[in-house]
Amino acid sequence: MTANESVPQPDPSLTGASVMDELVARAESRLERMRDLADRMTGVRVRESSDDGAVTVEVDGNGALVDLAFSAVVNRMSPAEFERVVVSTAHSAAARAFAERGDLITAFNEENSTPPTSA
């Protein structure tokens, strides 16, 4: 909830206990949605390979290196070329991971931007 959003008001026909129950249910629902988002973000993994297949990189949702593998193609590379391919492949993987996280956050915000409706 942003500072510009108003807090949804409970149904005025409800009793004090009913209002509290409704507020608790709403809070628990939002907490569960936030936990789900956190779990989904933790599960982000991206695997990227260089065009020639020399380097394969896997990163997590934070862009941290999880796995790094090389094929025999790296034996024919100069040190500078090897460095360039490793860095550019890792950069591509991290960019994709950040995009996935961004998509999850955008979807979460869109799902939670509409106020709950009273039944």
How do residues 66-115 score in pLDDT, each as one tens digit? 999 999 999 999 999 999 999 999 999 999 999 999 999 999 998 888 66
How do residues 23-56 score in pLDDT, each as one tens digit? 888 889 889 999 999 999 999 999 999 999 999 9
Which whole-number Å values give the CA distances from 96 to 21, 45, 56, 73, 85, in the listed order? Answer: 42, 9, 14, 24, 17
What pTM was estimated for this model as a whole? 0.71
Per the model's pLDDT, the better-predicted residue between 64 and 119 turns out to be 64
- Among 63, 59, 68, residue whose Cα is nearest residue 86: 68
